Amino acid sequence: MAQVPDFVSLNGPDNVGKTTHLVRLAERWDGFQPLGAVHEHDPEPWARVAAGGYARWWFETSTTVELTEMLLAGHAKRAAARETGHTGLLDRGLPMLLAVATATCLVKDGLTVGEASKTVTGIAGSRAAAPETSILLLR
Task: Give dist(CA 89, CA 53) in Å, integer.
Answer: 29
Q: What pTM value is reported for the model?
A: 0.86
Sheet strands (E) in 19-130: 32-36, 87-91
- In eight-state DSSP terms, residue 83 is P
89: nearest Cα among 13, 22, 30, 137: 22
pLDDT for 82-131, tens place per residue?
A: 999 999 999 888 989 999 999 999 999 999 999 999 999 999 986 655 55
- In eight-state DSSP terms, residue 92 is S
